[in-house]
Chain A
Amino acid sequence: MTWLRLLRPGDWLLALGAALGVAASFPLLWQGGQGDKAVVRLEGQVFMEVALDKPREIVVPGPLGPTRIQVEKGRARVAADPGLRQYCVRQGWLSQAGEIAICAPNRVSLAITGSQSPYDSLSY
């Protein structure tokens, strides 16, 4: 009656190997393309491109005032923006390739790019 007795040694081995393979494939589902670069645009022109390798801060002088962009290892966000609704600030940290935060009033955008981008653009 016990089901486990039906398994032969090779079955265990194969099932274990398959389980490990499946587990190893799961990052594919969740973190597809990690971004490695942030592209900051002002008025549609590229203002600055920075690698997401060490913390730094970028101040972009937009028409309404300075937009502060904070970069950390593997992620970036709009830390402050003079815009009214603060959508781009509230979007928080961006890390996936293709993610973008747009501060429309101040004409600033922050986009994450990666070597392999699963999306053309991602916004929430």
Chain B
Amino acid sequence: MTPSVTELKVGADDVRIARLAAAAVGLSLVDAAIPMPLPGVKPGLANIVTLMVLARYGWSAAAWVSGLRVVAGSLLLGQFLAPGFFLSLTGAITSLAVLALARWLPGRLFGPVSWSLLASFAHIAGQLALARVWLIPHDGLFRLVPVFALAALVFGIINGLVVCRLLQEFPEEAPHESRP
């Protein structure tokens, strides 16, 4: 069940989504400030927020936060409608699509680390696909797959663990759903 969007609840949900999106935007600025060896290899710290929202408030809230983060983050970084914007938009869309499925995994076996891993791999898969089709139309791009995959593995696990810790340390007020 996704959170019901009745008129009365809209205000509170909106405020919460805006707050969380602001946190995500802040983290994506931190992300952009961390020097990385290859363009496209990033810790993806903002996804910590997306995953926490997914765990606490469900998929559509996560999609809102993620979408707002991509748009507002790119505006702040001066990337709006630049290639980087479309790359992160594609990454956000593919990882949200995978998360839509991943959150139905049995919760006893699969936790936020699994979500985070699946999302990070979906992220690079989507971005590489877009880059191959649009930015660098050459198969040579795929020779970089190991680098991106390694980054997705490492940061996927780290971000997932951070999500676990944060969920543990900050038990939120009345969650709509923790896990379906």
Contacts and interface: CB of A to CB of B under 8 A. Distances in A.
Partners in one complex: yes
Interface of A: 3, 6-11, 14-15, 18-19, 21-22, 25-26, 28-29, 32, 118
Contacts of A26: 146
Interface SS of chain B: helix, strand, loop or mixed? helix
B156 A28 contact: no
B106 interface: yes
Given A10-B105, A14-B114, A3 B143 contact: no
Contacts of B152: 18
Given A18-B121, A22-B150, A7 B143 contact: no
Contacts, number: 69
9 contacts: A6-B165, A8-B108, A11-B117, A14-B113, A18-B117, A18-B156, A22-B146, A25-B145, A118-B143
A118 B149 CA distance: 20
A3 B165 contact: yes
Contacts of A10: 105-106, 109-111, 114
Contacts of A6: 111, 113, 161, 164-165, 168
A69 B76 CA distance: 60
Contacts of B121: 18
Contacts of B144: 29
Interface SS of chain A: helix, strand, loop or mixed? helix
Nearest to A3: B161
B110 A14 contact: yes
A7 B116 CA distance: 12
Nearest to B139: A118
B113 A11 contact: yes
Interface residues of B, number: 30
A85 B5 CA distance: 78
Contact of A8 (B110, B146, B150, B165): B110
Given A3-B161, A29-B146, A32-B143, A22 B153 contact: yes
B117 A15 contact: yes
B113 A8 contact: yes
A28 B145 contact: yes
Interface string B160-175: 1100110010000000
B118 interface: yes
A90 to B, nearest CB: 27
B140 A118 contact: yes
A19 B153 contact: yes
Contacts of A32: 143
Contact of A25 (B139, B146, B165): B146
A22 B151 CA distance: 10
A22 B110 CA distance: 20
Which 10 A-B residue pairs are closest in the complex by CB-CB distance? A10-B109, A6-B164, A10-B110, A11-B113, A8-B111, A29-B146, A25-B146, A22-B149, A26-B146, A14-B114
Nearest to B142: A28
